[in-house]
Structure formats: structure tokens, C-alpha cells
Chains A and B, each alone.
Chain A
Amino acid sequence: MEVSSVQKLCIELISAAFQRCRVAEDLCRLSVVLKSSDSSTVRISISDTGIGSCLEEFQDLKFSRRIFDAEKWDGLLLIRTTNIYDDKIYHYHLNLRESKSDRRLTQLPSNPKNGAKFSGSEVYLSIYENIAVLLAEVTHFFQKLLVLKIPNVGIELVTEEGDTPRSQCANVFLANECNPLAFSASNVERLKSGLQDYVLKHGNSLRRKCGSCFPSWEHLKVGSGIACSTGSHRTGRLLMETVIVISEIAETTPCLRSSSAKTEVVCLNDFSPCSIYQSSLTALTTIDWKSYGLVLGGVVDQGGYTVLEWENLPPNVHIDMVFHCYNEHEQIKWPPLRKKSQPGRNLIKKTVKLALDDLKEKHAGMLLSAHALKICSYAPDLARTIAGLIISSNDSEFQGECLSVLGLQSQDIGGKHVEAYIKEKIISVIEMNDRKPQRSKEATAFLFEDECLQDEEYDSGEYMFSSLDF
């Protein structure tokens, strides 16, 4: 992908530093310092204690002409890096504005490590940009990055305005801060936990969960789906993970959150936030949301982010969604050997459906299809009638048998217990039917496909002539 603005350049460099930390097996620190001495220049330092960097990472960056035309960056990067087995720290001066590639790189004198064993990098650049704009962009990036919940990386973001040390402001982003996860957790487990934190902390804008919106953890329901593309063994398969969180916000919350009718899809690609998958708009439009009781108003591309608009969500219910796609061979390597690849439409659809099915499976009554809701509307009547058949029977032995089947006591026969209990059972059966995978439901439907047609036939046509069998 081409880097088209200085903000994007910073994000690319920060993301690379994060990946160097991620693939290191140790605890790592990523530190981003933004310093502005006047209102228009920001000096940026991105340092990490991850595996050392290689120059190709920077040399291979592709820039659009616009970034230089905008006159916001001189094209210079100062790089210091060392690998764990290096005996010195290398210094480089990289001029990416230089069109001749052999003139771009200048090696500066290196520093000895004096036998110390460590690794890390620091990238330094200076740009002409408003520090507040850059800060907002970087903060937003970290808020999304935390959804990956990579536990071994601690992030700090420091800003200094002017030369006075009092103006310093530090912000720390820790993945494992409020809801710790074992280091050994799988990627999807991390993503699930990460999205929950993201929701509870209002898009990671808070350090802790919002107590007024979420008095308890039970208000979150999580579902996940994983699928992979059929790639070759050599190139590796593309893994796609989708996590969906449905949250119920306390109705009396003083928080003014964004409208529940919208869901911004957090997109992650190769362990880094990205704006949008090209195929996601069509994929999301063609999902049969109705079979999960949801009415989709539309899928829109809002400034590079995918936003789903819902038509029938209760005001206190919110849906959050994250996509993560990565190559199975590349997940523990840096820099990647291959270009980033995006998931196809079917892969996205498949994981979203799996995640929705997972939610249905785990939470009774959740995401019931419009069809099941209609059948559920018969439950009170059915329950009353079945209870009536038991209660109005003049055979007490039969009544006792029914009660014992239901696990009720004989004194329950009088009240509304029997009816309420049967109603509960009917609803749970309907919900269970609705949770059956679509394919098996279709197969069942096919077996008796013509039943409802027969019903119509029964009531019309020739048979009608003899319908007056009084």
C-alpha cells in the first residue's frame, strides 16, 4: 500500500515497531514521543525493544508523490537499530526523497554495545504538522491496536509541547491491563477479549471499563468465527477471524454514546489496524441478517471505515464487530515476506455467520430469526392449551405423570406453574431449532417440502366442492 500522507507514514512506522515487539518473545516496550517546539513542526521518535529492524523495511516503503509535494516532510529518517546478537548499534541516515537508490542510504558511525545483550530500534523523523492532529491519529491507531490484545507489548505515547518539561503528557496503552489474559492464549481468544475491552472502555478511550454503562460483565455476549482460504502449503492459507460483541448498556447511564443503530467494523490486517477490506461492503450486504432477526439498513464506507446501519436494534443494544485477517505462515515473522493480502467476500461472510451462529449457540434467545420469533408468538397459547389438557383432565394419575415428567410437584397443578413451565420449554425448543445450522434446516425442509403446498391444495381446487361435510 502506498503511503500518501505524513500521518500515514507515522502510522506505518509505528505499526512496524509494534510488529517487531510482537514477534519478540519477551516483554517489549514501544514508545512514541511527539515533540513540538512550535505550532507546525513535530519531531517524532518511535522506539521499541523488539527484534532489530532491517533496512528493507524502510527502503521498501512506497510513497505516493503527494507526500513530498505537500512539503510536510523532508524525506529523512534517522534509524538506530541492533539485533540481539549484534555487538554494536547501527546508525543510518535514510533520504527517501533521493531518486537514485544508491544515494539514499548513509551509514553513520555505530556505537559499541560493550557485551550487553539487547535488541531494539529507534526511528526519528521530523514533519510539518499540527501535533494535535497527529496525536489524534496515533491515539486512534493504538485504541484499535489494543483490540489484538497482544500481551507482551506495553505502549507509551508521550507528547511534549514547547521546551518546558511540564507540558509533557504521557499516555500508556496496555493490552492486559483490566482483563488479563494468559500469554499462551490463541489469537482469536485475544481478539475476543480485546473486543470486549474495546467495548467496555468505549472504544478504548477509557483506561477502565465504563462502570455506568456496564455495571457487570454479563452485559456482553461474545461470538467468534474462524475460517481460512484454500491457499497452497507453500504460500500459506489466509486466516480470517471475526468477533462480534453484543452489549446491553444500562438504560440509566449518563454516558452519551454513539447511536446504537450503527456498528463500526474494526478491521485488522496482519496484526495491524487497517481502514477497510475492499470486499467487506459486498460481503456484509449479502449476509442474510434476517435469519438472525436483524434488519440491515445499509453498509456504508464512512471515511475509510465500514459502518453497518441497523433498523431494528433496541436503543440500549449495541453490536461491535472486528475482522482480523492474516497469513498463517506470517504470524510469527517480521518483516513479512509477502504482500498483505485481503480476505475475499466469501471468507468474510463465512466468519461473520460463524460468529453469529456462535452467539446464538451460547446465548438462548439471542439473534432469533424473524421466522422463529413468529413461531414463538404461538408459545403462550400453546402452553395454555397443553396445560389445560393436563389440568382439566379428570384423571389424577395422568396429571401426576405429566407433572413428574415436567419435574413439578403435585401442588403446582393449581397455579400458573404448569403453563409457565411449558411455555418456557416451547420457547427453548423453538430457539434450539433456530440454532440448528442452516444446512440441516434446509435438508429437513426439503424432506417435507411440499407440506405447506399440500395445505394450500387441501383448501382449494377440486377438494373445495366437497368441503361442506357438515
Chain B
Amino acid sequence: MEGNSPSSDLLRKIREFTKSIVKDLNQGRSPLIFINRFRNYCSNLDANCSCSYDASKGQEILTLEKQCHAHRINVLLRVLLIVQQLLQENRHGSKRDIYYMHPSLFAEQLVVDRAINDICILLQCSRHNLNVVSVGKGLVMGWLRFLEAGRKFDCINNPNTVHHIPVLVEEVKDIVSVANYILVVEKESVFQRLANDQFCTRNRCIVITGRGYPDISTRRFLRLLIEKLSLPTYCLVDCDPYGFDILTTYRFGSMQMAYDAKFLRIPVIQWLGAFPSDVEKYSLPQQCLLPMTPEDKGKTEAMLLRCYLHREVPQWRSELELMLQKGVKFEIEALSVHSLSFLSEEYIPSKIQGELHL
């Protein structure tokens, strides 16, 4: 029997949704599927914009009058059918699993991702509520111990050992830590560098990487740690438009999942580096700097218009502007030009101790 659990609530919503479609069809009407649209930023810098994390901005109405809508409804319902089965059987499936259930219909993973987002908006829930999980690509190490579904993750025993971030974050319990801060790094290569350098032995911290754009589990896990441990959190990304975009994804959430940004964003995260202004400060030689491509410039110009930068982190925006002015970018690894362990022994400690974060 279903109890009053979140999944039974979702199943009820799915049944109501199905019933409304059946009713519409029976009355000779095209079903109208209202999907709220969310934006976590706009490009309105002059006036006070109305971007918020709770309110939707307009609606899309899917009907059977347009071919592109018919296709979207078809995909949406097909994914919904899979979700209903997952919830009823209390099983979990990945987005990739779902894709491979009807690859010819879905054509590409992006189509499934979008349908899942639409379903989350329709049912007003987060993706993990649908029992849809990702394979999990985030990594963690440092002064941390927790239980996940009864399994013990004891990082404290050996703080430089790499662990995968659990996929079912809601099952993470009993978090214990003696760390002083959390360090989020963009790339796995940097994370491995820190592991090799025994960074966590010398620094009481937890290090996390989302390996590029962070997945939901990584961001939810990070939020959970911050919520439970109240630790300052720093983010280290490449000094290029992609690194900056990844930084904003941690702090503000992504546009694709703007509907869920209030549960995914991490407002306390601070930017530790690398800043365009670090070039002079850390005397990076010219050969470590790469010229920005036209694509980089276009992306940077578009990002500069994001209202949240203007409103919430004007210093971040100034650094981004500086990057565009200089027309060069560099990777974190470029800091190794001084010495292999410069990053772990000099750069990060100096930034944290000197509070040189934004």
C-alpha cells in the first residue's frame, strides 16, 4: 500500500495528469499541457529585473495543434510512463537507462533530459523525486565521514583517498567532519594533483570536484555538507569562460534546471580563483596564456549580461570583464610553471589565508 510518502504524492499527481488528458480527449478537446518556464537570470541590466528562484516566467502550452508539440507530448508521456513504473516499484533509473528504453523515439539524450525537466516542472518536484538518478560523476576526499544507505564512507582515515559522491544523496546520513573549509575544484586533473600532493593531510578541508559541469548529485551533496557543517566553501576554476560558467552553475544553478535552482544553487560559494588578475600577481609567463577564441569572447559577452552577476557578485563580473579586455585565458595547471606543487603549497593556502577570494 502506498503511504503518504513523496512518491505516493507524485504518483497521485501523475494519475491526475493522465486523467485530465483522458477527459480532454473524451470531450473532443486537445489536451493543454501547461509548462511553466523558469529563468534564473535575464539580460536586463538597467532596470530591476524580476528574476527569482521561485516564480515562473511565463508558460508554454503544449497542444496537439503543432507537430513539434505533438512530438514533445509523445516524449513527455513516454518518460512519464517510465517514471510511474519506477515510482510504483520503488526502483531507480538513470537518464541514460531511460534513453535506451526507446532510443529511436528519443533520438538523443537531450530530448530525454528535457522531458524529465518538463515532468519536474509539471509535477513540481526535483529530479531525484522521480527516482531518476545520474551515474554519478562527482568525487570527494578529505576530513569527512558519512553513511549512505548503511554503507560507511570514512574519508578521515585516509583524507587523500578519492571517493565517488553518492548518487542517492537523500540516503546520506550521519555526516561528521573536522574540516575548516570545503574546496570545490572544476577539474578532475586538479583534484588528482591535490590528492597526489597530499593536500588534505596538510590542510583540514574537504575537496570536491564535479568533473566539469557539476551533476545534480554533486551539487545536492555539496549543499547537504554546507547545510550540516556550515563551512566556508571556495571554488577553483580555470580562468576561461567555461570555468566561469561552471562557477556560476554552482552558485546560481543552470538555466536548464532553473525550475529547481532554489534547491540546487549554493549562494555561499566563493570564488577562489583563478582570476584574470592572477596573471600579474603570480607572474604567469606569456607562454602560459592562451588567446581567447571568438567563441570564448561571444560566450563571455553573453555572460556579462546575466543579471545575477550585476546584482549579486559585481566583483566576479569585473574580473570577467577584465578577462575579456585582456583577451587571454589560462588553465589552473598553468600555475605549475613555477613548480609542480605550487598550486597546493602556495596558491591555494595563500588565497585562503589572505582571504583573497571573491
Measuring CB to CB, which residues of chain A are less than 8 angstroms from any residue of chain B? 371, 374-375, 378, 381-382, 385-386, 388-390, 392-395, 398, 401-402, 405-407, 422, 425-426, 428-430, 432-433, 441, 444-445, 448, 451-452, 454-455, 458-459, 461-463, 465-470
Chain B residues 318-356 with CB under 8 Å of chain A are none
* Candidates A375, A381, A393; contact of B84 at CB < 8 Å: A393
The segment from B12-20, B150-158, B187-195, B230-238 found at the interface with A is: B12-20
Chain A residue nearest to B59 in the complex (CB)? A448
B256 touches A385 (CB 8 A): no
Besides A375-B67, A470-B216, 13 other A-B contacts (C-beta < 8 A) = A382-B70, A389-B18, A390-B18, A394-B88, A401-B19, A405-B19, A426-B25, A441-B65, A451-B60, A452-B66, A454-B37, A466-B213, A470-B134
B77 touches A389 (CB 8 A): yes
- Distance from B68 Cβ to chain A, minimum over Cβ atoms (Å): 5
- Distance from A363 Cβ to chain B, minimum over Cβ atoms (Å): 16
With A392-B81, A465-B299 as contacts: A470 and B215 at CB distance below 8 Å: yes
B249 within 8 A of A: yes
- Distance from B10 Cβ to chain A, minimum over Cβ atoms (Å): 13
- Distance from A40 Cβ to chain B, minimum over Cβ atoms (Å): 66
B310 within 8 A of A: no
B70 touches A466 (CB 8 A): no
Q: Which of A429, A433, A444, A452 has the most CB of B within 10 A?
A: A429
- Distance from A301 Cβ to chain B, minimum over Cβ atoms (Å): 37
Chain A residue nearest to B39 in the complex (CB)? A463
B256 touches A371 (CB 8 A): no
Please classify how large the interface on chain B is, using the bins under 10, 10 to 19, 20 to 34, 35 or more. Answer: 35 or more
Contacts of A452 in B (CB 8 A): 66, 68
With A463-B256, A466-B255, A470-B134 as contacts: A402 and B19 at CB distance below 8 Å: yes
Over the window 62-92 of chain B, the binary record of Cβ atoms lying under 8 Å from chain A Cβ atoms (1 yes, 0 no) is 0011111111111001101100110010000
Chain A residue nearest to B218 in the complex (CB)? A470
Closest 10 CB pairs of A and B: A466-B254, A470-B215, A468-B213, A425-B25, A385-B77, A470-B134, A378-B70, A389-B18, A462-B302, A398-B15
The segment from B26-34, B170-178, B269-277, B281-289 found at the interface with A is: B26-34
Chain A residue nearest to B21 in the complex (CB)? A386
Cα–Cα distance between A225 and B257 once the two chains are bound (Å): 52
Contacts of A392 in B (CB 8 A): 81, 84-85, 88
Q: Which of B18, B37, B78, B135 has the most CB of A within 10 A?
A: B18
Chain B residue nearest to A390 in the complex (CB)? B18
With A386-B77, A395-B15, A468-B212 as contacts: A432 and B255 at CB distance below 8 Å: no
A381 touches B105 (CB 8 A): yes
B145 within 8 A of A: no
Cα–Cα distance between A245 and B300 once the two chains are bound (Å): 63
B242 within 8 A of A: yes
- Distance from A47 Cβ to chain B, minimum over Cβ atoms (Å): 58
Contacts of A405 in B (CB 8 A): 19, 22-23, 26
Cα–Cα distance between A326 and B14 once the two chains are bound (Å): 60
With A382-B70, A451-B60 as contacts: A467 and B28 at CB distance below 8 Å: no
Cα–Cα distance between A179 and B13 once the two chains are bound (Å): 58
Cα–Cα distance between A467 and B108 once the two chains are bound (Å): 13
Chain B residue nearest to A461 in the complex (CB)? B302
Pull 12 A–B residue pairs with CB atoms less than 8 Å apart, ordered by A: A375-B66, A385-B80, A386-B21, A392-B85, A402-B19, A405-B22, A406-B22, A407-B26, A428-B28, A430-B30, A465-B245, A469-B254
- Distance from B91 Cβ to chain A, minimum over Cβ atoms (Å): 13
* Candidates A382, A390, A448, A466; contact of B245 at CB < 8 Å: A466
* Candidates A390, A429, A469; contact of B64 at CB < 8 Å: A429
B26 touches A425 (CB 8 A): yes
- Distance from B115 Cβ to chain A, minimum over Cβ atoms (Å): 12
Cα–Cα distance between A454 and B69 once the two chains are bound (Å): 12
Cα–Cα distance between A169 and B144 once the two chains are bound (Å): 112
Prevailing SS type, chain B contact patch: helix
- Distance from B328 Cβ to chain A, minimum over Cβ atoms (Å): 20
B313 within 8 A of A: no
* Candidates B78, B215, B257, B299; contact of A462 at CB < 8 Å: B299
Prevailing SS type, chain A contact patch: helix
* Candidates B30, B88, B135, B245; contact of A429 at CB < 8 Å: B30
- Distance from A79 Cβ to chain B, minimum over Cβ atoms (Å): 63
Cα–Cα distance between A394 and B8 once the two chains are bound (Å): 11
A422 touches B22 (CB 8 A): yes
With A382-B70, A465-B299 as contacts: A432 and B19 at CB distance below 8 Å: no
B26 touches A466 (CB 8 A): no
- Distance from B106 Cβ to chain A, minimum over Cβ atoms (Å): 12
Cα–Cα distance between A428 and B299 once the two chains are bound (Å): 47
Q: Which of A374, A425, A432 has the most CB of B within 10 A?
A: A425
Chain B residue nearest to A394 in the complex (CB)? B88
- Distance from A464 Cβ to chain B, minimum over Cβ atoms (Å): 9
B29 touches A374 (CB 8 A): no
A467 touches B256 (CB 8 A): yes
With A386-B21, A441-B65 as contacts: A393 and B15 at CB distance below 8 Å: yes
B22 touches A385 (CB 8 A): no
Chain B residue nearest to A375 in the complex (CB)? B70
B137 within 8 A of A: yes
Cα–Cα distance between A429 and B80 once the two chains are bound (Å): 22
Contacts of A462 in B (CB 8 A): 255, 299, 302-303
Cα–Cα distance between A378 and B73 once the two chains are bound (Å): 10
B113 within 8 A of A: yes
Contacts of B85 in A (CB 8 A): 392
Cα–Cα distance between A1 and B65 once the two chains are bound (Å): 49
- Distance from B263 Cβ to chain A, minimum over Cβ atoms (Å): 13
B61 within 8 A of A: yes
A433 touches B65 (CB 8 A): yes
B257 touches A469 (CB 8 A): yes
Cα–Cα distance between A461 and B255 once the two chains are bound (Å): 12
A371 touches B84 (CB 8 A): no
Contacts of B262 in A (CB 8 A): none
* Candidates A382, A393, A467; contact of B77 at CB < 8 Å: A382
Contacts of A395 in B (CB 8 A): 11, 15
- Distance from B324 Cβ to chain A, minimum over Cβ atoms (Å): 15
Contacts of A451 in B (CB 8 A): 60-61, 66, 69
B137 touches A470 (CB 8 A): yes
A386 touches B254 (CB 8 A): no
- Distance from A344 Cβ to chain B, minimum over Cβ atoms (Å): 33
Chain A residue nearest to B81 in the complex (CB)? A388
Cα–Cα distance between A470 and B66 once the two chains are bound (Å): 29
B268 within 8 A of A: no
- Distance from A469 Cβ to chain B, minimum over Cβ atoms (Å): 5
With A462-B302, A466-B213, A470-B215 as contacts: A429 and B29 at CB distance below 8 Å: yes
- Distance from B147 Cβ to chain A, minimum over Cβ atoms (Å): 24
B212 touches A429 (CB 8 A): no
Chain B residues 48-67 with CB under 8 Å of chain A are 60-61, 64-67
B80 touches A389 (CB 8 A): yes
B95 touches A470 (CB 8 A): yes
A385 touches B78 (CB 8 A): yes
Chain A residue nearest to B76 in the complex (CB)? A385
Cα–Cα distance between A211 and B110 once the two chains are bound (Å): 58
A385 touches B74 (CB 8 A): yes
Chain B residues 201-258 with CB under 8 Å of chain A are 212-213, 215-216, 242, 245, 249, 254-257
A371 touches B67 (CB 8 A): yes
Contacts of A441 in B (CB 8 A): 65
